[in-house]
A = this chain, B = another copy of it.
């Protein structure tokens, strides 16, 4: 007998038929003798509907009230799922974030889980109930409702798995696993049986929207065995776990692209210490996440700094940097929205410098120009023109997986 945490996304519970499909998956797992905790997102387009209701009334509502509003979406899901499972004749109880005692900090709309009180969860499991928990939400020290931000239900699931020392955390999505590239763009992409946390992390921060970034971080820290699989097909998914000794040694596990970025360039900065600190601490203060950073020395003893950020934050970042123009001391700010980031990820590449060379070769052979390059232990990212992105993805994928 094991403790299994299962998470289902919004499309998996979009209507009554799908709710019963998921209820069947849950009760099958329970019938095998497992303790089962289920985490649900809001149904289909519920969250978007609530957001537009809010914006009709106030284009700029407080984040606290937005969280009160949005948290109803998952509450509806868990109640309906509990009713479906009741109908199948199994013991079940639904719990909201505050009932499951999921304690977060007070960053409304983007809160982090700090602690999960286990008393209620344990007592429901002891009573042999299937426990259905709202994803994406918790409660802060003021007893106010918080949400974890989009995709936060993955984080809820993995955090629950960690707190309860679950044997397995299954993330059900509308894809049946993690692929070497997005199959909609790269027809030859193939499903991976296994992947390491590190690779998954790089892939999910790279725009492969299979798993929420923070959920993989927590899984890695607490060593939670994750499985990504589909609630629509009955096939094995992809296991995410620490590299086992006998794990097949793959050089590259996947290729991903991210179109939703903007490239900023600040030119003619003074060539003295503290400039980068000024820029990036200012942006960090406003919660703007930076991705690739390139710094180059100009010929006239000034320097240029380029970096990419999520396109969503583009206007906010531009306003902040514009206001701080004198304090930072740059000459021009150039913003480019027509770029894509292509990333090659693989735990094996750390000891194999050939991967970078092969990546560049693939791009060269496809006649694609590289604007920026950034590398980590297990990742190579290049910034290229957006119009070349799909071609680049296929070219690199062919190089490693053909």
Partner pick for A72 among B58, B76, B93, CB 8 A cutoff: B76
Interface pair A65/B94, CB less than 8 Å apart:
yes
Report which of B66, B79, B84, B93 forms a contact with A79, defined as CB distance below 8 A. B66
The interface residues of chain B lying within 8 Å CB-to-CB of A16 are 56-57
**Alpha-carbon distance between A64 and B99 when the two chains are bound, in angstroms:** 14
Given known A-B contacts A50-B76, A68-B78, A120-B143, A83 and B61 have beta carbons under 8 A apart:
yes
Within 8 A of B (CB), among A138-187: 143-145
Q: Does A86 contact B (CB under 8 A)?
A: yes
**How far, in angstroms, from A57 to B375 measured CA to CA in the complex?**
50
Q: With an 8 A cutoff between CB atoms, is A80 at the interface?
A: yes
Report whether A143 and B80 are in contact in the complex, using a CB–CB cutoff of 8 Å: no
Residue contact A80 to B54, C-beta cutoff 8 Å: yes
Set of chain B residues within 8 Å of A99, measured between Cβ atoms: 143-144
Cβ contact of A65, chosen from B53, B69, B83, cutoff 8 A: B83
Q: Are A65 and B86 in contact (CB under 8 A)?
A: yes
Chain A binding surface, main DSSP class: helix
Number of residues on chain A facing chain B (CB within 8 A): 37
**B residues within 8 A CB of A79?**
54, 65-66, 68-69, 72
Q: From residue A97, how far is it (CB to closest CB) to chain B in Å?
A: 12
Q: How many whole Å from A189's CB to the nearest CB in chain B?
A: 36
A396 interface residue (CB < 8 Å to B) = no
A16-60 toward B: CB 8 Å interface, digit per residue (1/0)? 100110000000000000000000000000000010011011100
Q: Which residues of B contact A75 (CB under 8 A)?
A: 68-69, 71-72, 75
List of B residues within 8 angstroms of A87 by Cβ? 57-58, 61
Taken together as a complex, chains A and B put the C-alpha atoms of A83 and B65 apart, in Å, by: 7
CB contacts (< 8 Å) of A53 on chain B: these are 76, 80
A74 CB to closest chain B CB (Å) equals 10
Using Cβ atoms and an 8 Å threshold, which residues of chain B touch A58? 83-84, 86-87
Asked if A262 is an interface residue, CB under 8 A from chain B, the answer is: no
Tell whether A246 is near chain B: CB-to-CB under 8 Å: no
14 pairs of residues in contact across A and B, judged by CB atoms under 8 Å: A19-B57, A54-B79, A58-B83, A58-B84, A58-B86, A65-B82, A68-B78, A68-B82, A69-B83, A72-B75, A72-B76, A96-B145, A99-B143, A120-B143
Interface residue ranges, A against B (CB under 8 Å)? 16, 19-20, 50, 53-54, 56-58, 61-62, 64-66, 68-69, 71-72, 75-76, 78-80, 82-84, 86-87, 93-94, 96, 98-99, 120, 143-145
